[in-house]
Chains A and B, each alone.
Chain A
Amino acid sequence: MSKFFTSVHLKEDLCMGCINCIKRCPTQAIRVRNGKAVITKEFCIDCGECIRLCPHHAKEATYDSPEIMKRFEYTVALPAPSLYGQFNHLDDVNIVLTALKKMGFDDVYEVSGAAEIVSEMSRKYVAEHKEKWPIISTACPSVVRLIQVRFPNLIEHLLPICAPVDIAAATARKLAMEKTGLPAEKIGIIFISPCPAKVTAVKAPIGIQKSEIDAVLAMKEVYPILLPLMMQSIDDVEELSISGRIGIGWGSTGGEAGSLLSESYLAADGIENVIRVLEDLEDQKFDQLEFIELNACAGGCVGGVLTVENPYVAKVKLKRLRRYLPVACSHLESGDEENRIWTDEVKYEPVFKLGNDMKESITNMSRVEEFCEKFPRLDCGSCGAPTCKALAEDIVRGVAHEQDCIHILRDYIHKLSDELSKLDTKK
């Protein structure tokens, strides 16, 4: 697998080469070249913003088709808690879980169950690591990737506990092996994801060597399959749920932080807001916070770009669903903690840097400034870069030309035609 895997990609035939995505990409990862958008993989954090806003639907996420279930002898579905927020009038998650089995899965294991275990572990970790306050949640892979490439000073604040989905996957495989006697590779652990970032976290994990997840389905593709099956399930609902209020709360912003049972936390969502919080955090503008929950999507995972319901409506639905549940149903068993902690050190990857050493950087940065002086500072996007400055950086990186700026090109053409007409009059 290449070091820079991203799930978000372009459907070239649909791309019109407009500048909507280049302007709104939070990491300035997109350029328009030769009339088509191009995503620089190193810069992309898979937040899904471009999928959300492309008017031509030319951006999409890579994920697996439900067909993939056939590849395994035994399959376990891992539904993300945000899935429960997608349905109207749902009052029992067991209906969704039963429908998943009717869809063809041999078993289900709720990610929200594993989330309760992460909550328990986090409570302990936060209490024991005052020196690392505020501790930043690592459940949203898009945020973790962003910190890895752009906020090196915050890496040490990351919560080094595996994401609920990874813990769910490992536990589900273990249980399935015990139950069936099958070898690990014959069992398919299949996650139902709200977003492309979680797909990337499976293919190119951060903090762990390898993900236990075998395939990832998009929530929006599973949704229409489940709807009729849920109707059929109503009369013979199986008791499959292993999660309570805390676990299901993880589906929207504030759920994870709230589960720490402390007042001293901040929860922010929406990638632009997340960036603002990280900038301020880096400048030490707030202290006395114990925990920071950050979600790339507005509303939290219910706002994931592969969901179907309006995130705020989904949030209300989750709230209703949680109301009569016990606080938590899944608990940590001793001895389990060890393999739920990150094994790999997260290293800063300065993908945005302009030089290999200070000398080269100073030279390149002064060139950027010089180009910026020449450009009209309209940030018009016609060159295919989001801002004049971004074009200047591209030129210095050797991937664009000065005359990609239509204003420079126009001046050049004027000069040329002036010279030509002078030649003409001399004749």
Chain B
Amino acid sequence: MSDKIKVFYEVPADDFTRAGEASSNLKSMLKKMGMNPETVRKVAIAMYEGEINMVIHASGGTIDVTVSQEEIEMVLKDQGPGIADIEMAMRAGYSTAPDKVRSLGFGAGMGLPNMKKYSDELKIESQVGIGTTVTMKVKIQC
């Protein structure tokens, strides 16, 4: 029997009613695994922000999650417009969200800062016109 568990999610484009499905699905799985509540909270918040970003800023994408005994790794891949200046995007309050999305309550420019805050490791690889891959790791506390 393997010592890791892998799950895969597809995040559909432009569907706000389904945005958040992957993170809530993962959250429920982690709870069933008896994971420490604080760890579950960090994963759920970080992954939700990433998932929403894929819906708002790219045209959906995929998420690969690997849970091992030590950590939870989330790899969020999209083929969206990419991020030209990652450092700038990471700043609290920076956002390019269009008005339509802002009226839904998004676009505070807090997503990436929150992803950094709630994950133990955050890596963003992005190429303009090709897409973005965000890798986050959360250590499992005991």
Contact = CB atoms under 8 A, between A and B. Distances in A.
Interface in A363-402: 363-367, 369, 393
Interface string B20-61: 100110010101111101101100110010000000000000
Contact of B37 (A153, A285, A352, A356): A153
Contacts of B92: none
Given A362-B5, A362-B69, A352 B32 contact: yes
Interface residues of A, number: 27
A282 B26 CA distance: 13
Contact of A152 (B1, B24, B32, B37): B37
Interface in A92-139: none
Contact of A358 (B33, B44, B48): B33
Contacts of B29: 365
Judged by DSSP, the binding face of A is: helix
Contact of A354 (B4, B7, B33, B38): B33
B31 A350 contact: yes
B3 interface: yes
Contact of B68 (A357, A362, A369): A362
B119 to A, nearest CB: 14
B3 A359 contact: yes
Contacts of A393: 32
Most buried by B among A150, A153, A348, A358: A358
A361 B33 contact: yes
Interface residues of B, number: 27
Nearest to B67: A362
A283 B44 contact: yes
B9 to A, nearest CB: 13
B103 interface: no
A365 B69 contact: no
A362 B4 contact: yes
Contacts of B89: none
Contacts of B134: none
Interface in B43-91: 44-45, 48, 67-69
B29 to A, nearest CB: 7
Interface of A: 150, 152-153, 279, 282-285, 348, 350, 352-359, 361-367, 369, 393
13 contacts: A152-B37, A152-B40, A282-B41, A283-B20, A283-B24, A283-B45, A355-B33, A358-B35, A362-B67, A362-B68, A366-B1, A367-B1, A393-B32
Given A283-B20, A285-B48, 17 more contacts: A150-B31, A282-B44, A283-B24, A352-B32, A353-B32, A353-B33, A354-B32, A354-B34, A355-B34, A358-B35, A361-B32, A361-B35, A362-B2, A364-B33, A366-B5, A369-B7, A393-B32
List 10 A-B pairs, minimum CB-CB distance, nearest first: A353-B34, A152-B37, A361-B33, A358-B69, A153-B41, A363-B1, A366-B5, A153-B37, A283-B44, A365-B5
